[in-house]
């Protein structure tokens, strides 16, 4: 490797994905030479420069060969072969030399970690090529006195639990145990280790592991991007000496595909009491801390030992050698090229930069078998006497247990050493038929028989599960039936008998739901009765199961179906069915919104399904919240989640990031229950479904017209208070007074044109006086708004009751008024938002009464000009130059009532929000 023992760090940038293309993303990465990566901040255009051992440009400059391989058309482009030649070759050479090697891939979800490590189809990644080459080289090196052994294991770390991916028995409660061996360090107890004889066998094993990952992710409702996958290959070279005895070189190769590195946005946890309760990914967070500690201690040099927190997570225990011990280590940092991922990419580049300085200390693992055996025997004698002494003496049970375990481990190691390779292979073969032929069989079957294949948000887990549909009737469900054909699907929302699939023998397949109210969708549309499946149909069985139907005896099988477009059609049909504004309007804003909706909708559905299964009386619902609704004058419509706690009859609004945080907590709780854990049921303060009534919640908002100020007219007006579903729930009384800069209210100094204010020193007083009609459940509330140019939100006092008198006054000075200020007053509105705490049901009246106070007051609309004209006219002629509500009502009486209502509706749609009912959610809570 030629660089001493520093970790080798490579950065690789992938092409734009579909999402980035439709969004017209800008490229922010440049790689001017083979080592340098430059990232540009899309906001400021500032550039940051990093150097690594390798900077791989895989963004453009390639074309797709017939067999799907992406080959360079420009020498700048780094293809899979090149990455293997640079990094994989080194891994192989080190394995032959008897070093331990580790290769890990870091980066946000979708950045290309799996692509580099495992690869897709003909674009094989490092793992398969290393394995293939290893067996080739073994074949080339076969000598009489040499014996080669290769073993493989595969595991996943999810929520600090280790799952054996090659085990055929059900996983133990709480996962496999991680133990520490005094000499060899941390290891996973009872992890399946399979001897393999060929590349085909190892490939079949990795496929088997991927399949169990997919099944577990679907069943546990887990997000695969949050799991770490480790493939471990052990390579032993045994040579018998002429003088007798054998020596063995041993290399352990750890290939680690890390969980997505995306950080939780701070906004999501801000003010959320639960933030301590949910550990998003302890292993990944700890890895960051370990790398930082190693980096700092390397830099400090002064011999000052820093404590490295390896023990704080399962992943860092298992990677201890890879990071700071006996290993030659390589890190690939995968990055997105797009501006929208700038923050994440920068954070990945920084992480990779810190990793560069870390040094490991690899040694050749070579020993004389006979001596090793002798040492193990001696140690075991010592252990035995210690155990005997301990049981008699004062050693704790725990210590004795530990000694016993060590003894057992040693014994196992000795047995393995004494067993011949042929014995090991024969034992493995006896366990089950070879996996390789199974796969061939399945591929052949796929060409003949109707089947469903799975879609997963992770492309690596897509088309991994296949269900064949034989002639006759098959039941799909989570409990095998005693008779007939059965297709197992487990997890969220799947009933013991969910649907039946009938194959009439001519490859006509009919699907019938077993119950009326199931969430079954075909191509995004709900189905209730018997339906015949057509070629390429996307079938959503509820919860987490999405499949594509193919009839291989017929033409027209599509190859372009992805998880994303299958989700998109569900979201689109969903929105359309609710009569919502057409999504997919084509503008960038619409695209972003559609995409957000698409990614959030399935999560909200699953959250509802989890709530039902965990006995939480809570309903989640997506709401689209306009920037105006949030008290902002500009910005994008956002997706928030409305939470209705039915037992306490409280409502909350979570921003998407907060929902995501909570969602992960729900997943963990669900998984703990599935896992049979006794303490899955969280107390209220740690329950991700629960929000205490005194958490501040967004209630509603009001749009306040400012035009009067543009004409220096003093008004006191009432404005409708509109809740998220666009309903008028009450009225807010606001006073707006032009003032001198000393605070004296100006009366009668109106102007005819707002431009006349420009250059004058004027102050504007905003009075948030009182509100009526807030929901009864509101205990205390306050209002927030942002006046032109203010950096901070202005907040009123917090007042009890549903007819609060806020009595708030704030003066905003302009010395002088600029054109922007004059324009703002003349054309913009002040968006006032209401926030409050709630009283849970039982504490007061049970009804969620939201009084609607009839008002004909129009919000903004085409009558604005006319309205202003009248207002000014009134002001001029009125004795009392302070325009009152009465006067305004008189002004508005002149406007046609019908038109008025229409205008109001339109403007509310614009300023308000749209509610989207989740498919599996309850009826939208209707305000009365
Ligand atoms: P991760 O494992 O980091 O979540 P993936 O490896 O699954 O990301 O990559 C996401 C998508 O991007 C996949 O469809 C993959 O094929 C594609 N991709 C990633 N890296 C490259 C690359 N270097 N060249 C072409 N496509 C890539
Ligand atoms: Mg991946």
Distance between Cα 113 and ligand 2 center (Å): 5
> Across residues 233-251, what is the average pLDDT?
85
Report domain 8-264+277-364's class. Answer: alpha beta
List pLDDT tens digits, range 156-191: 998 888 999 999 888 888 789 998 887 778 899 889
Q: Using CA positions, which residue lies closest to atom 11 of ligand 1? A: 110
Distance CA 13, CA 16 (A): 9
Report domain 697-838's class. Answer: mainly beta
Q: Report residue 317: phi and psi, to 5°.
A: -60, -50
Among 12, 13, 14, 113, name the best residue to mutate to test ligand 1's pocket (greatest count of ligand atoms within 8 A of Cβ). Answer: 14
- Domain boundaries of the chain, sorted by first residue: 8-264+277-364, 366-389+400-447, 449-561, 578-686, 697-838
Highest averaged pLDDT of the listed ranges 49-58, 364-373, 560-569: 49-58
Confidence of residue 888 (pLDDT cuts 50, 70, 90): very low
Give how far Cα 387 sits from Cα of 377, 381, 404, Å: 15, 10, 7
Confidence of residue 743 (pLDDT cuts 50, 70, 90): confident
Apex 738 CA angle, 735 and 743, nearest 5: 100
Lowest mean pLDDT, pick from 42-46, 364-368, 431-435, 693-697: 431-435
Lowest mean pLDDT, pick from 17-31, 444-458, 542-556, 866-880: 866-880
CB-neighbour burial class of residue 717 (10 A; exposed 0-12, middle 13-18, buried 19+): buried
Distance between Cα 106 and ligand 1 center (Å): 13
* Amino acid 877: pLDDT: 44
Higher confidence at residue 682 or residue 28? 28
- The reported pTM is 0.79
List pLDDT tens digits, range 406-455: 888 888 888 887 787 888 888 887 776 555 567 788 889 999 999 999 99
Phi-psi region of 444 (alpha: psi -120 to 50; beta: other; left: phi over 0): alpha
Phi-psi region of 159 (alpha: psi -120 to 50; beta: other; left: phi over 0): left
Distance CA 354, CA 681 (A): 40
* Amino acid 903: pLDDT: 42
Closest CA to 630 of 357, 835, 860: 835
Query: Within a 10 A sphere around the Cβ of 703, how many other Cβ atoms?
Result: 22
Instruction: Considering only the C-alpha atoms of the chain, give the largest distance between any 2 of them, rounded to a whole number of Å.
Output: 121
**Residue ranges of the binding site:** 107-115, 257, 458
What is the rounded average pLDDT for all residues in the chain? 82
Among 83, 112, 128, name the best residue to mutate to test ligand 1's pocket (greatest count of ligand atoms within 8 A of Cβ). Answer: 112
Does residue 4 sit in helix, strand or coil?
Answer: coil
Query: Judging by DSSP bridges, how do beta strands 618-625 and 794-795 pair with one another?
Result: unpaired
Helix/strand/coil (H, E, C) string of 662-685?
Answer: HHHHHHHHHHHHHCCCHHHCCCHH
* 682, 669 contact by CB (below 8 A): yes
Distance CA 6, CA 357 (A): 6
> Across residues 99-126, what is the average pLDDT?
94
Distance between Cα 226 and ligand 2 center (Å): 10
Q: State whether the beta carbon of 223 lies less than 6 angstroms from ligand 1.
A: no
Distance between Cα 112 and ligand 1 center (Å): 4
Distance between Cα 65 and ligand 2 center (Å): 24
The domain 449-561 having CATH identifier 1.10.3470.10: the answer here is no
Q: State whether the beta carbon of 735 lies less than 6 angstroms from ligand 1.
A: no
For residue 69, the number of C-alpha atoms closer than 13 Å in the C-beta half-sphere is 12
> Across residues 337-353, what is the average pLDDT?
94
Distance CA 627, CA 152 (A): 54
For residue 458, the number of C-alpha atoms closer than 13 Å in the C-beta half-sphere is 26
Q: Report residue 808: phi and psi, to 5°.
A: -95, 140
Distance CA 575, CA 918 (A): 10
Closest CA to 710 of 810, 629, 829: 829
Confidence of residue 906 (pLDDT cuts 50, 70, 90): very low
> Across residues 583-592, what is the average pLDDT?
62
Is the confidence at residue 272, as pLDDT, over 70?
A: no
Higher confidence at residue 770 or residue 269? 770
Is the confidence at residue 682, as pLDDT, over 60?
A: yes
* Amino acid 394: pLDDT: 67
User: Would you state the structure tokens that stand for residue 115, as one six-digit string?
Assistant: 């692509």
Closest CA to 485 of 498, 472, 503, 466: 472
Confidence of residue 322 (pLDDT cuts 50, 70, 90): confident
List pLDDT tens digits, range 472-520: 999 999 888 777 789 988 888 888 889 999 999 888 999 999 988 788 8
Query: Judging by DSSP bridges, how do beta strands 8-13 and 54-57 pair with one another?
Result: parallel
Is the confidence at residue 58, as pLDDT, over 90?
A: yes
Confidence of residue 303 (pLDDT cuts 50, 70, 90): low
> What are the start-end ranges of the E strands in 369-503?
451-454, 466-468, 472-477, 485-488, 499-503
> Across residues 605-609, what is the average pLDDT?
89
* 703, 718 contact by CB (below 8 A): no
Q: Using CA positions, which residue lies closest to atom 17 of ligand 1? A: 112
Confidence of residue 818 (pLDDT cuts 50, 70, 90): very high
Give how far Cα 841 sits from Cα of 615, 777, 845, 852, 925, Å: 18, 8, 7, 21, 15
Is the confidence at residue 1, as pLDDT, over 50?
A: no
* Amino acid 886: pLDDT: 32
Instruction: Output Rg (C-alpha) for the chain, integer angstroms.
Output: 33
Q: Using CA positions, which residue lies closest to atom 18 of ligand 1? A: 112
Residues 6 or more apart whose Cβ sits within 8 Å of residue 384:
407
For residue 335, the number of C-alpha atoms closer than 13 Å in the C-beta half-sphere is 33
Distance between Cα 110 and ligand 1 center (Å): 6
* Amino acid 3: pLDDT: 41
Torsion 854-860-862-865 (CA) sign: positive
Q: Using CA positions, which residue lies closest to atom 5 of ligand 1? A: 112
Atom of ligand 1 nearest to the CA of 118: 6
Apex 18 CA angle, 13 and 23, nearest 5: 95
Q: Using CA positions, which residue lies closest to atom 12 of ligand 1? A: 112
* Amino acid 270: pLDDT: 56
């Amino acid at each position: 490797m030629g660089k001493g023992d520093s970790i080798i760090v490579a950065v690789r940038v992938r092409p734009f994905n579909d999402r980035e293309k439709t969004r017209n993303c800008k490229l922010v990465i440049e790689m001017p030479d083979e080592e340098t990566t430059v990232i540009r901040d899309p906001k400021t255009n500032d550039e940051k420069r990093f150097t690594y051992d390798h900077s791989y440009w895989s963004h453009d400059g390639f074309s797709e060969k017939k067999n799907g391989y992406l080959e360079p058309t420009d020498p700048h482009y780094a293809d899979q072969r090149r990455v293997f030649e640079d990094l994989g070759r080194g891994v192989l050479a080190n394995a032959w030399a008897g070093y331990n090697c580790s290769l890990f891939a870091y980066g946000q979800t979708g950045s290309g970690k799996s692509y580099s490590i495992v690869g897709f189809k003909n674009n094989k990644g490092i793992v398969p090529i290393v394995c293939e080459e290893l067996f080739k080289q073994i074949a080339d090196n076969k000598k009489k006195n040499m014996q080669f052994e290769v073993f493989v294991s595969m595991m996943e770390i999810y929520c600090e639990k280790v799952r054996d991916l090659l085990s055929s028995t059900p996983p133990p409660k709480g996962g496999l145990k991680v133990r520490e061996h005094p000499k060899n360090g941390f290891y996973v107890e009872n992890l399946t280790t399979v001897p393999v004889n060929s590349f085909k066998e190892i490939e079949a094993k990795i496929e088997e592991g991927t399949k169990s990952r997919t099944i577990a992710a679907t069943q546990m409702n887990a997000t695969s991007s949050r799991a770490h996958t480790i493939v471990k290959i052990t390579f032993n070279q045994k040579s018998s000496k002429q003088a007798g005895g054998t020596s063995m070189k041993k290399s352990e190769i750890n290939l680690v595909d890390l969980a997505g590195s995306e950080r939780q946005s701070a906004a999501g946890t801000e003010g959320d009491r639960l933030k301590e309760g949910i550990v998003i990914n302890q292993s990944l967070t700890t890895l960051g801390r370990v790398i930082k500690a190693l980096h700092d201690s390397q830099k400090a040099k002064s011999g000052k030992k820093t404590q490295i927190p390896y023990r704080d997570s399962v992943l860092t225990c298992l990677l201890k050698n890879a990071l700071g011990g006996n290993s030659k280590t390589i890190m690939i940092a995968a990055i997105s090229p797009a501006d929208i991922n700038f923050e994440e990419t920068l954070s990945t580049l920084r992480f990779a930069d810190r990793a560069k300085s870390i040094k490991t200390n690899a040694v050749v693992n070579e020993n004389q078998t006979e001596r090793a055996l002798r040492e193990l025997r001696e140690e075991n004698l010592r252990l035995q006497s210690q155990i005997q002494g301990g049981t008699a003496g004062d050693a704790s049970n725990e210590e004795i247990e530990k000694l016993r375990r060590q003894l057992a481990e040693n014994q196992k190691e000795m047995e393995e050493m004494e067993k011949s390779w042929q014995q090991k292979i024969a034992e493995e073969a006896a366990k089950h038929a070879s996996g390789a032929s199974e796969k061939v069989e399945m591929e052949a079957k796929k060409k003949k028989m109707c089947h469903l294949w799975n879609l997963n948000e992770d492309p690596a887990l897509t088309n991994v599960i296949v269900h064949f549909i034989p002639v006759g009737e098959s039941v799909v469900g989570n409990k095998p039936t005693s008779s007939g054909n059965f297709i197992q699907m487990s997890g969220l929302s799947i009933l013991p008998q969910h649907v039946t699939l009938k194959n009439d023998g001519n490859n006509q397949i009919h699907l019938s739901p077993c119950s009326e109210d199931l969430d079954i969708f075909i191509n995004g549309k709900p189905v209730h009765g018997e339906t015949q499946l057509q070629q390429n149909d996307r079938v959503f069985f509820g919860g987490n199961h999405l499949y594509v139907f193919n009839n291989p005896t017929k033409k027209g099988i599509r190859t372009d179906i992805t998880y994303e477009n299958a989700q998109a059609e569900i979201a689109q049909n969903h929105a359309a069915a609710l009569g919502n504004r057409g999504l997919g309007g084509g503008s960038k804003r619409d695209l972003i919104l559609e995409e957000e909706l698409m990614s959030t909708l399935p999560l909200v559905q699953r959250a509802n399904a989890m709530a039902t299964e965990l006995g939480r009386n809570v309903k989640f619902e997506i709401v689209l919240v306009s920037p105006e609704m949030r008290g902002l004058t500009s910005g994008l419509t956002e997706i928030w989640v409305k939470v209705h706690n039915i037992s306490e009859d409280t409502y909350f609004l979570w921003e998407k990031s907060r929902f995501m945080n909570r969602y992960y907590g729900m997943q963990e709780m669900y998984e703990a229950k599935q896992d049979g854990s006794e303490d899955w049921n969280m107390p209220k303060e740690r329950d991700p479904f629960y929000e205490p009534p005194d958490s501040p919640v967004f209630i509603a908002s009001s749009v306040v017209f400012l035009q009067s100020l543009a004409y220096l007219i003093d008004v006191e007006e009432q404005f409708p208070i509109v809740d998220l579903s666009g309903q008028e729930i009450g009225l807010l009384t606001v006073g707006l007074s032009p003032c001198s800069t000393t605070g004296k209210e100006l009366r009668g100094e109106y102007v005819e044109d707002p431009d006349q204010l420009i250059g004058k020193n004027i102050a504007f007083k905003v009075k948030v006086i009182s509100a009526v009609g807030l929901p009864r459940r509101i205990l205390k509330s306050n209002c927030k708004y942002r006046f032109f140019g203010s950096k901070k939100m202005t907040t009123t006092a917090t007042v009890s009751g549903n007819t609060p008198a806020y009595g708030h006054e704030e003066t905003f000075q302009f010395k002088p008024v600029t054109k922007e200020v004059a324009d703002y007053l003349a054309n913009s509105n002040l968006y006032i938002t209401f926030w409050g705490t709630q009283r849970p049901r039982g504490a007061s009246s049970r009804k969620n009464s939201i009084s609607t106070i009839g008002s004909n007051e129009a919000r903004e609309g085409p009558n604005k000009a006319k309205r202003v004209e009248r207002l000014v006219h009134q002001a001029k002629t009125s004795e009392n130059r302070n325009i009152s509500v009465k006067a305004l009502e008189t002004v508005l009486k002149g406007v046609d009532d019908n038109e008025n209502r229409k205008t109001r509706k339109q403007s509310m749609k614009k300023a308000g929000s749209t509610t989207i009912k989740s498919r599996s959610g309850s009826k939208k809570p209707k305000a009365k």
